[in-house]
């Protein structure tokens, strides 16, 4: 009896007690082996990633006491690694940090780490904070990141490609600004502010400007659904997106088919009977490329709606569909609407202006476009390449000039170490602008005006070549209105009557010259109290005979240019005289600027294109 009991007891004790004792031992051993593995991962990392600052990760001391390393409270695992500004450089090797699978915080910001973010980062299934901003990481983002993440900062790297639709349900802060990412922002990340995405010129969609949605009228179905993230599950979004994409695809194919059939039919038809009429139409259109079709058949009317009208001499080869698919970035909001930089799928770069508040009818609009489109073939004019007109959208397509406007070069970051435009450059820009404007006046006819001369509409290339843009658009709007941000450039009679003329363009050009000379803005800029009426200010200063005071201080370091500056000032003042009839003509202006500083031209070898006949610069100030 007793034996039996003992036997039973000892069996029981074996069954129960042995595991009770062994299990904790086992756990302890596993724990220490994990810490040991963390240690080895860290050592592998330190050995393969050069670093400027010494880490002093001493093999004989405990991992948990190492610089930048934090362990869990029971010292069982490494849970944080913080090495900001440690001078780490080169790639992060796989199988090093990726093995720290208990890590909650990984901060490697402000180093020189480069190449891809290793994919094994997704093994860190407890990671909450990933801060690797201010490095040189490149390549695509990993397709998956730990779903435990709460803070992700990847800003100021060189990451490229599209942002994958990361599934990060706990994410509170996300910053991927200042990389080279492109494409649209996934739905799940659209709740973050635009500063989270800024500085990726090819990124688009909420919260950034839409991805080429400038064609989508309120009546047409949206290209991509953009519901508030909280109201719909992501699977819902996905299926809606897929459905819309499929529908759009089918629609596109159908429309292309219809267009193809139509074009074939028309080719036949025009070859037979309509040749004469079409030829007539073409010549009266000033040779614009008609991708369109006749208005008689009903299908043609559909095609007509989606017609992008190109002008002759334009080498672009895309259509509305292509523009629709392009990614777009807002360049700026101008007097007449918003300008976008659009990147087509084949990499073509164009500027698309979306015109608001057009008050005239389609016919008049097209007539004005014809006039504008035919002003071209001049090196100082930015030509209109194509336009689009529908009830809800009016679009203009231009070449992209990458470097910026005169206004930008003249006024942006004056304080902060910018290289100022020197006198040579300013003369070159003044001359280019004068030539461009004279060409516009000549080609457009005596009634045609630029209507919006100001420094932000003078584009300047790397070589300081000038392109005058944004001309001839005022007649599209009926408001007695001159764009508000043109205030400082408006001629007195323009303010009174609201009617622009070539004379009022000359006035605006004169203000532009004053801007070049004084370095002062003619429109109020944010945070500065600039003088609005430059001509009046200059007159008052000159009357007091402190002429030198009017010139831009940035020009004062250049020797021997004062005479030229005074002459330029006289030209400017002769453009801004009150009476329109007494103002210079653009041709005179060109001649006078060309002759500027003629007597000592040997000092200025780069101004090769100055005319040789030396007309004395009269002083228009004294004349009028
Ligand atoms: C950044 O990385 C690229 C290659 O990925 C390299 O060519 C470049 O030198 C790196 N720049 C710096 C500052 O480390
Ligand atoms: C993202 O980082 C940039 C640069 O550090 C900063 O200017 C911006 O405010 C940040 N945005 C957010 C939402 O954290």
Ligand nearest to the CA of 90: 1
Across 326-449, where does the E strand assignment appear?
327-333, 337-343, 349-355, 384-389, 394-399
3-state secondary structure of 115: strand
pLDDT of residue 227: 31
Number of domains in the chain: 3
116 lines ligand 1 (CB under 6 A): no
CA distance 328 to 184: 10
- One domain, residues 379 and 458: no
Q: Both 435 and 385 in a single domain?
A: no
Q: Which ligand sits nearest to residue 134's alpha carbon?
A: 2
Residue 90: domain span: 25-211
The span from the CA of 303 to the CA of 280, in Å, is 22
> 65 CB less than 6 Å from ligand 2?
no
Phi/psi zone of residue 395: left (φ > 0), alpha (ψ -120 to 50 degrees), beta? beta
CATH number of the domain bearing residue 326: 3.30.200.20
* Residue 598 resides in a domain: yes
Mark whether 410 and 393 lie in a shared domain: no
Tell me whether residue 261 is in a domain: no
Whether the CB of 155 sits within 6 Å of ligand 2: yes
Are residues 60 and 125 located together in one domain of the fold?
Answer: yes
493 and 531 fall within a common domain: yes
Give the pLDDT of residue 402: 81
The per-type count for the chain, helices as H runs and strands as E runs, is 14, 20
Q: Read off the CATH number of the domain in which 156 is found.
A: 3.80.10.10
Pick from 169, 189, 211: which residue ends a domain? 211
Q: Which atom of ligand 2 is found nearest the CA of 192?
A: 13
Q: Assess whether the C-beta atom of 90 lies below 6 angstroms from ligand 1.
A: no
Q: Is residue 177 in contact with ligand 2, taking CB distance under 6 Å?
A: yes
pLDDT at residue number 269: 41
Ligand 2 contacts CB of residue 195 (under 6 A): yes
Are the CB atoms for 416 and 236 separated by under 8 Å?
no
Contact predicate 226/188, CB 8 Å: no
In a domain, 173, yes or no: yes
**Ligand 1 centroid distance, CA of 175 (Å):** 21
Same domain, 141 and 197: yes
476, 547: one domain: yes
Q: Are 360 and 376 spatial neighbours (Cβ–Cβ below 8 Å)?
A: no
Side-chain-side CA neighbours of 610 within 13 Å: the count stands at: 23
For 155-177, how does the pLDDT look when each residue is reduced to its tens digit (9 = 90+)?
999 998 889 888 899 999 999 99
Question: Does 333 lie in the same domain as 345?
Answer: yes
Q: Which of 150, 152, 196 to mutate to test the pocket of ligand 2 (most atoms within 8 A of CB)?
A: 196
pLDDT confidence of residue 606: 38
Is residue 355 one of the residues assigned to a domain?
Answer: yes
Is the domain of 466 the same as that of 561? yes
Q: Tell me how far apart the alpha carbons of residues 71 and 234 are, in angstroms, rounded to a whole number.
A: 36
Given this model, what pLDDT does residue 532 score? 65
**Could you tell me the mean pLDDT of each successive run of 10 residues in the chain, 624 residues long?**
46 48 48 84 93 84 92 93 91 93 95 92 95 93 93 95 90 94 89 93 84 43 32 39 55 61 49 34 32 36 64 80 78 79 84 86 90 87 90 87 85 71 92 96 91 91 90 76 67 84 95 93 61 81 78 82 89 94 94 78 38 32 33
91 and 165 within one domain = yes
Query: What is the CA(193)–ligand 2 centre distance, in A?
Result: 9
351 and 442 belong to one structural domain: no
Last residue within a domain, chosen from 400, 417, 439 = 400
Residue 231 belongs to some domain of the structure? no
Q: Whole-model pTM above 0.75?
A: no
The residue out of 180, 196, 211 marking a domain boundary is: 211
> Of 177, 197, 207, which is best to mutate to test ligand 2, by the most ligand atoms within 8 angstroms of its C-beta?
177
Backbone torsions φ then ψ of 106, nearest 5 degrees:
-130, 110
Exposed/middle/buried for residue 2 (C-beta within 10 Å: 0-12, 13-18, 19+): exposed
Residue 340's alpha-carbon distances to 197, 202, 211, 373, 461, in angstroms, are: 17, 11, 10, 19, 18
Angle at 63 between CA 57 and CA 64, to 5 degrees: 120
501: number of Cβ within 10 Å: 18
What is the atom index within ligand 1 of the atom nearest the CA of 89? 14
pLDDT at 113: 94
- Rounded to whole angstroms, how far apart are CA atoms 111 and 544? 58
**Residue 228 CA from chain centroid, whole number:** 25
Ligand 1 neighbour 212 (Cβ under 6 A): no
| Cα 185 to Cα 157, 161, 164, 347, distances in angstroms | 18, 11, 9, 19
- In a domain? residue 245: no
In a domain, 216, yes or no: no
In this structure, the residue with its CA closest to atom 5 of ligand 2 is: 155
Q: Confirm or reject: Cβ of 115 under 6 Å from ligand 1.
A: yes
Report whether residue 136 contacts ligand 1, using a CB cutoff of 6 Å: yes
Q: 428 a known binding residue?
A: no
In terms of domains, do 381 and 326 share one?
Answer: yes
* Residue with tokens 């109201």, as numbered in its chain: 231
**What's the pLDDT at 135?**
94
Q: Which two tokens stand for residue 239?
A: 């299926």
How remote is the CA of residue 114 from the centroid of ligand 1, in Å? Answer: 6
Contact status, residue 105 vs residue 128, Cβ threshold 8 Å: yes
Whether residue 394 is contained in a domain is answered as yes
Rounded to the nearest 10 degrees, how much is the dihedral formed by the CA atoms of 175, 179, 180, 184?
Answer: 10
- The residue whose C-alpha atom lies closest to atom 12 belonging to ligand 2 is 196
């Amino acid at each position: 009896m007793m034996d039996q009991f003992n036997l039973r007891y000892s069996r029981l004790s074996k069954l129960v007690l042995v595991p009770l004792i062994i299990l904790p031992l086992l756990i302890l051993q596993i724990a220490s082996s994990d810490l040991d593995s963390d240690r080895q991962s860290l050592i592998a990392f330190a050995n393969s990633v050069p670093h400027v600052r010494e880490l002093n990760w001493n093999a004989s001391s405990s991992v948990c006491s190492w610089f930048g390393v934090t362990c869990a409270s029971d010292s069982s695992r490494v849970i944080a690694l913080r090495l900001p500004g440690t001078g780490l450089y080169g790639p992060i090797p796989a199988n090093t940090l990726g093995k720290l699978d208990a890590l909650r915080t990984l901060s490697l910001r402000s180093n020189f780490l480069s190449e891809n973010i290793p994919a094994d980062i997704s093994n860190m299934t407890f990671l909450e904070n990933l801060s690797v901003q201010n490095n040189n990481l490149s390549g695509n983002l990993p397709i998956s990141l730990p779903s435990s993440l709460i803070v992700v900062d990847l800003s100021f790297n060189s990451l490229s490609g599209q942002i994958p639709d990361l599934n990060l349900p706990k994410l509170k802060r996300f910053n991927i600004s200042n990389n080279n990412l492109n494409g649209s922002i996934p739905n799940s990340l659209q709740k973050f502010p635009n500063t989270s995405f800024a500085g990726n010129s090819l990124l688009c969609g909420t919260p950034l400007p839409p991805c080429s949605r400038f064609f989508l009228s309120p009546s047409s179905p949206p290209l991509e659904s953009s519901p508030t993230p909280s109201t719909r599950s992501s699977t819902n979004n996905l299926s809606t997106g897929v459905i819309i994409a499929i529908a759009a695809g089918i629609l596109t194919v159908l429309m292309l088919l219809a267009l193809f059939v139509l074009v074939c039919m028309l080719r036949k038809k025009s070859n037979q009977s309509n040749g004469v009429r079409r030829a007539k139409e073409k010549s009266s259109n000033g040779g614009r490329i008609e991708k369109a079709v006749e208005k008689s058949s009903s299908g043609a009317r559909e095609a007509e709606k989606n017609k992008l009208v190109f002008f002759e001499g334009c080498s672009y080869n895309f259509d509305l569909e292509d523009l629709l698919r392009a990614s777009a970035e807002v360049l700026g909001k101008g007097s007449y609407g918003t300008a976008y930089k659009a990147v087509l799928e084949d990499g073509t770069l164009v500027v698309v202006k979306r015109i608001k508040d057009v008050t005239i009818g389609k016919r008049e609009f097209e007539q004005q476009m014809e006039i504008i489109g035919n002003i071209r073939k001049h090196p100082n004019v930015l030509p209109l390449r194509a336009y689009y007109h529908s009830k809800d959208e009016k679009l203009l397509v231009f070449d992209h000039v990458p470097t910026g406007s005169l206004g930008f070069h003249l006024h942006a970051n004056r304080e902060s170490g910018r290289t100022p435009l020197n006198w040579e450059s300013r003369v070159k820009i003044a001359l280019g602008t004068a030539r461009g404007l004279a060409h516009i006046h000549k080609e457009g006819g005596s009634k045609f005006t630029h209507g919006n001369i100001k420094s932000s509409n003078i584009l300047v290339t790397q070589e300081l070549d000038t392109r005058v843009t944004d001309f001839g658009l005022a007649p599209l709007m009926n408001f007695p209105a001159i764009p508000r941000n043109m205030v400082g450039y408006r001629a007195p009679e323009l303010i009174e009557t609201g009617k622009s003329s070539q004379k009022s363009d000359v006035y605006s050009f004169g203000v532009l010259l004053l801007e070049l000379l004084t370095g002062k803005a003619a429109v109020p800029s944010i945070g500065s109290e600039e003088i609005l009426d430059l001509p009046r200010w200059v007159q008052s200063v000159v009357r007091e005979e402190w002429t030198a005071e009017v010139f831009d201080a940035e020009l004062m370091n250049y020797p021997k240019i004062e005479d030229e500056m005074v002459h330029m000032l006289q030209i400017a003042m002769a453009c801004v005289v009150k009476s329109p009839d007494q103002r210079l003509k653009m041709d005179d202006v060109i001649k006078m600027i060309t002759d500027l500083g003629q007597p000592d031209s040997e000092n200025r070898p780069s101004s090769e294109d100055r005319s040789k006949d030396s007309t004395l610069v009269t002083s228009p100030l004294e004349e009028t």
